[in-house]
Structure 1
């Protein structure tokens, strides 16, 4: 995988809204944080547009993102928020210049569309809190974005849990994934990720238990779960029952769908739609090491 250049003090970062609309007030605090890191935000022309629920028309959102992808003075693109909409423009984006001059793509949730598509180009990306969410995220989560962007060391601990399908062996592999519903939507498309021999991360929000099961079954039927090194499950936030009780919890569904495979599964990874939303470098090799009453996840530099 290709690692985009790490940021230096004074770097310009593009601010783009590829999905749901967001006001200038909603990202004001996030912009202050970027400036406190001595970064120079460059806000897309259409970043605060409104077209239904979207931040402008498909063409307006496409033009903003394409401009930032092509501008070599922009060293990272940090998204304002997720929601829905990135999948509507992904096939119209031209990554020709981006492949020649890669830069960090920073976001999560709906931005999983870009993470997955860019991983097919063999380029790393950053899964992290976006500008709208920075005021509600823990200080450690926000600080971890800077840590990743500036090339410092990243590692996290996960407490041992009865939910986990544990292994006493150290596991190493490339980390891929993102929002489970988006991975489900991309399944079988040109933006679909290759999971063979890799460590899969996923999280989700506001979905029904049956949808979680359906998404995992779809991935399994497309051979996405058979040859993994491990699974890391982040926050499963507001996962709901339908009118009829499903009969299993979210973690029981996950374990049931992978029960025939012998790799470990670790729940409660500190990442997803919650205040403790730590930064991940997707496409990066990580190690998962048993450590007493916890496991340590370390990103290789």
Structure 2
């Protein structure tokens, strides 16, 4: 996997909206944070655009993202928020200049579309906090983003969980939002799970749909040859009047039971305040013991 150049003081970060609109005056905390890191900020043309739920038309969002990719002075593109819509602009993008001068693409949730697409192209990206989440992000989440962007050593140690499956595994981390992974299967942007560590998280889904999506991953062979699984937050899950009978983590536990691989549950990443950065496509080692779990990036 190709690693974009890590940031240095004086570099410029572009803030763009690839999906849901961002019409509020809410980016000053992000400006202040990036300036405190010695970085410059460019506000993309999609910020403030209003097309129903989206930040402008598909063409406008693609044009903004394209300009940031093609601008050699931009060293990272930070998506301001998720929602839905990134996939609608994906086929309008030309990655030719990006391949000549790769840069970091940063975000989570709907930005999983870009993480997965870049992974199929052979490029790393960063899953982590976004500008709209910075005011409520934990210091550890913010610190982890700084480490990921500047190429500092990145590792995590978390406490034990009764659902964890013991063991040790190494491989490139792939994945992101489970709903997005599910929606991309069968497309050119679908990730290759073979010998990888799969990360999943989700928000505001019905429990039966979590089961459906996990079964889809299973039937597509995505779970068969993994080196491990990291399960992030499953936030604000919904149930029907007739209960499904298991919560989201129990569903994941049940469907992954046949596979003899280490699994970390309740990892601090996803739609939570403590959303720690993950370098997608980067090789990492996870180790799960009764005393707790570690995830260490190479």
Task: State how many pairs are aligned.
Answer: 298
Cα contact 1:140–1:278 (8 A) shared by 2: yes
In the alignment, which residue of structure 1 is the partner of 2:195? 197
Separation in 1 of the partners of 2:281 and 2:88?
24
Cα contact 2:23–2:50 (8 A) shared by 1: no
Higher mean C-alpha deviation, range 236-245 or range 20-29:
20-29
1:282-301 to 2 correspondence within 5 Å?
282-290=280-288, 293-300=291-298
In the alignment, which residue of structure 2 is the partner of 1:144? 144
In the alignment, which residue of structure 1 is the partner of 2:12? 12
1:24 offset after TM fit, Å? 4.6
Separation in 1 of the partners of 2:202 and 2:135?
20
Separation in 2 of the partners of 1:26 and 1:161?
36
Of 240, 255, 270, the match for 1:257: 255
Of 270, 273, 276, the match for 1:275: 273
Cα contact 2:4–2:103 (8 A) shared by 1: yes
**TM-score after normalising by structure 2:** 0.98
Separation in 2 of the partners of 1:223 and 1:292?
29
| Structure 1 moving runs of 4+ over 6 Å | none
Separation in 2 of the partners of 1:158 and 1:214?
29
**TM-score after normalising by structure 1:** 0.97
Cα contact 1:99–1:121 (8 A) shared by 2: no
Q: Secondary structure at the match of 1:113?
A: helix
Higher mean C-alpha deviation, range 111-120 or range 83-92:
83-92
Separation in 2 of the partners of 1:62 and 1:6?
24
Q: Secondary structure at the match of 2:26?
A: helix
Higher mean C-alpha deviation, range 69-78 or range 256-265:
256-265
Q: Secondary structure at the match of 1:23?
A: coil
1:289 offset after TM fit, Å? 2.6
1:158 offset after TM fit, Å? 2.4
In the alignment, which residue of structure 1 is the partner of 2:237? 239
RMSD of aligned Cα (Å): 1.1
Does residue 118 of structure 1 match 2:139?
Answer: no
In the alignment, which residue of structure 1 is the partner of 2:3? 3
Separation in 2 of the partners of 1:214 and 1:291?
30
Q: Secondary structure at the match of 2:135?
A: helix
1:211-226 to 2 correspondence within 5 Å?
211-226=209-224
Separation in 1 of the partners of 2:290 and 2:186?
40
Separation in 2 of the partners of 1:242 and 1:292?
35
Separation in 1 of the partners of 2:257 and 2:267?
20
In the alignment, which residue of structure 2 is the partner of 1:133? 133
Q: Any gaps of 5 or more consecutive residues in structure 2?
A: none
Q: Secondary structure at the match of 2:261?
A: coil
Deviations 1:70-98 (A, max 9, x none): 11110000111111110111111111111
Deviations 1:112-136 (A, max 9, x none): 0000000011110000100000001
Separation in 1 of the partners of 2:96 and 2:208?
39
